[in-house]
Each structure stands twice: as C-alpha cells, then as structure tokens.
C-alpha cells in the first residue's frame, strides 16, 4: 500500500485555496513575501495560492508555526484559529505511541480501522516521517483528538 494515497481527496481543495489566500491577504504581503517569512519555498506557496494544492504536513506545520494558528484551521478542519502551544515538546511519533498505550492497543489493532496498512505505523516510527494529511486525519478521528494534539503541537 502506498505511503501517500494516490486517490487522495486531500491533494488540492478550493476551500484550502480560499483560506490560504485569505491568510496571505491578512498578512498584507505578496505570496513571495509570505513564502520567505514562513520559510517555505515560493513554488509551494504559489501552487497553494493559485491551484489550492495542499502542501505536505511538514510544510503545513511550518506555516502554522509562523502564523501561530492551529493545524486544524490551516487544514480547513476548523474555523477556529486559536492555538495553545504544548508545554512539553513532543512529536507525532511519541504521541501516537501514547494514544495507543492509553487505549491498550498496538499498531496492528489500530490499523484495522485505518485506510492504510499497519506497516506504515512502523515506517513512520523507524524513519521519523509523518503521514499524509489524509492518513493523519484518519488517525486523529479514530483517537478523537485534534490534529495539533496528534502532531504534538498542543496539549
């Protein structure tokens, strides 16, 4: 099974495009200035602003950190910008283990409810990569947590 879903509904979005352009307008800068300020490539910002192509989770985190907004907001999962940073630095990799331990489940048991194979959990842990936005949303929904919590950005 693919690491990134080829049939993903989350590759581009008109809603994301509108939100992203509104965010840039609020910053009162050009897309190129925004890219520089957020520490993101011009190409990524241009594709997001013009075509609504959703950047990788890592880049979305970088944009969220720059704007000090919730990941759920930037991913159009919520209209609430509010974001309370985590008091203790943690990662997705630590958080997913904690969530599994709380439910007394292992990755194989959780994967039965996911749109991806259990091996991806082990790959993310071993290589310290992040899931695609679609997979991240499925995990957050299963554990009934926000994307910010799952990513270790909030408590």
**Residues 70, 18: one domain?**
yes
Q: Write out the two tokens for 144.
A: 């009934």
- What does the alpha-carbon distance between residue 143 and residue 138 come to, in Å, rounded to a whole number? 9
Mean pLDDT, the chain, rounded, equals: 91
Q: Using the Cα atoms of residue 140, residue 145, residue 146 and residue 152 in order, give the sign of their dihedral.
A: negative
pLDDT at 7: 47
- Is it the case that residue 9 has pLDDT exceeding 70? no
Encode pLDDT of 122-142 as tens digits: 999 998 899 999 999 999 999
| Domain assignment of residue 117, given as a range | 92-150
Contacts of 62 (CB under 8 A, 6+ apart): 38, 39, 40
Reply yes or no on whether the pLDDT at 144 is more than 50.
yes
The pTM of the whole model exceeds 0.85: yes
Domain count, the chain: 2
Among the three residues 74, 109, 142, which one is the final residue of a domain in this structure? Answer: 74
């Amino acid at each position: 099974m693919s690491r990134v879903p080829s049939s993903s509904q989350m590759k581009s979005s008109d809603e994301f495009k509108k939100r992203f352009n509104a965010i840039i307008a609020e910053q009162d800068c050009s897309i190129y200035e925004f890219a520089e300020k957020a520490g993101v490539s011009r190409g990524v910002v241009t594709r997001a602003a013009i075509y609504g192509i959703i950047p990788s989770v890592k880049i979305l985190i970088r944009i969220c950190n720059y704007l000090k907004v919730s990941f759920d907001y930037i991913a159009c999962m919520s209209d609430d910008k509010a974001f309370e940073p985590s008091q203790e630095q943690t990662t997705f990799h630590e958080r997913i283990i904690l969530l599994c331990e709380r439910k007394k489940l292992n990755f194989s048991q959780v994967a039965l409810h996911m749109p991806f194979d259990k091996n991806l959990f082990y790959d993310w842990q071993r290589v310290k990569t992040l899931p695609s936005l679609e997979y991240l949303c499925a995990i957050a929904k299963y554990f009934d947590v926000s994307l910010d919590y799952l990513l270790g950005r909030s408590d």
